[in-house]
């Protein structure tokens, strides 16, 4: 009788061993899951605001902000940034949000960036250029994650060759033989100097202006014009300007120091080459 009871107890313990083993495995799995989730959550941050309720930005210096974002991401968590870049993937839905990949700040050595947003209009397409305003909410595999509060489409030039200095020229104009050339804006970047122009032909004849042979003279130095980058060909000034028409576009020179200049545009239809003086504000010299 005693022997039979002992055998039953042993049999019962053997039956419970797999149950206890399964329970232990489940508990261990849950523990590991919680651990990894907590590690993931630890890299996620909420937006940071100052006492007045204003967003706290990584830096007021955009170059420094970009450098910190990609090289010291952990120190930027929660802080805001205005990030420019090229859209590399179209938005995909993920847990009630939209997410896409941005090649951030290519002119400053940026890189892949995940952009999340909610309830923002999609104003961009694949390979277009945008500015994202948002805060750094996390990092995954060394890729910064930004939650956007605003997304704005930009011209390629503002992303690929951003200006460090720009001036409104207050529509400086010169008329010659019925042709009016107006310089409206000048931008200085590390790669080039850009002058935005409009040309109005007030005559009844077609006029040719050779922008590819244009020059800019500053003091005794003369600089040849250069081509508009391929991504901004829509801003290229046309050589032929038909009667009673107006065109706008971009005249590009190498990187120049901010100073007054005399721009000369050769013409095969005018008696003399066209000249216009472009003057920048005194505080910019």
Domains of the chain: 62-154 (2.40.50.140), 161-284 (2.60.40.1150)
pLDDT value at residue 27: 42
Cβ contacts of residue 120 below 8 Å, gap of 6+?
98, 148, 149, 150, 151
Give dist(CA 268, CA 205) in Å, integer: 13
pLDDT value at residue 60: 86
pLDDT value at residue 222: 98
**SS3 state of residue 285:** coil
Give dist(CA 66, CA 247) in Å, integer: 37
Give dist(CA 142, CA 209) in Å, integer: 51
Residue with structure tokens 């000369």? Answer: 264
Half-sphere exposure of 37 (CA within 13 A, CB side): 6
Token pair recorded at residue 192:
């080039």
pLDDT in tens, the chain (285 residues): 544 543 455 455 444 445 444 544 444 444 444 444 434 434 568 999 999 999 999 998 888 999 999 999 999 999 999 999 999 999 999 999 999 999 999 888 889 999 999 989 999 999 999 999 999 999 999 999 999 999 999 999 999 999 999 999 988 999 999 999 999 999 999 999 999 999 999 999 999 999 999 999 999 999 999 999 999 999 999 999 999 999 999 999 999 999 999 999 999 999 999 999 999 987 766
pLDDT value at residue 11: 53
Number of helices (H) and strands (E) in the chain: give both, helices first: 3, 16
What is the CA angle 168-217-170, rounded to 5?
15
């Amino acid at each position: 009788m005693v022997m039979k009871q002992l055998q039953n107890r042993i049999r019962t313990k053997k039956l419970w061993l797999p149950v206890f083993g399964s329970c232990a495995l489940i508990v261990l799995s849950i523990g590991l899951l919680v651990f990894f989730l907590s590690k993931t959550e630890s890299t996620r941050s909420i937006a940071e605001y100052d006492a007045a309720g204003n967003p706290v930005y990584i830096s007021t210096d955009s170059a420094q902000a970009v450098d910190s974002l990609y090289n010291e991401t952990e120190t930027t968590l929660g802080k805001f940034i205005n990030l420019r870049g090229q859209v590399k993937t179209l938005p995909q839905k993920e847990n009630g949000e939209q997410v896409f990949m941005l090649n951030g700040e290519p002119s400053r050595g940026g890189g892949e960036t995940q952009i999340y947003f909610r309830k923002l209009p999609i104003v961009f397409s694949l390979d277009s250029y945008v500015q994202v305003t948002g805060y750094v909410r996390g990092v995954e595999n060394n890729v910064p994650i930004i939650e956007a509060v605003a997304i704005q489409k930009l011209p390629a030039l503002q992303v690929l060759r951003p200006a460090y200095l720009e001036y409104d020229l207050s529509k400086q104009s010169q008329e010659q033989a019925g042709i009016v050339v107006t310089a409206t804006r000048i931008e200085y970047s590390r790669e080039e100097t850009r002058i935005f122009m409009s040309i109005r032909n007030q005559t009844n004849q077609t006029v040719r202006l050779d922008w590819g042979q244009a020059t800019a003279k500053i003091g005794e130095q003369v600089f040849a014009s250069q081509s508009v980058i391929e991504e901004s060909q829509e801003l290229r000034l046309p050589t032929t300007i038909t009667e009673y028409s107006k065109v706008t576009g971009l005249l590009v020179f190498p990187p120049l120091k901010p100073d007054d200049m005399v721009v000369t545009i050769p013409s095969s239809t005018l008696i003399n080459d066209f000249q216009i003086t472009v003057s920048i504000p005194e505080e910019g010299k």
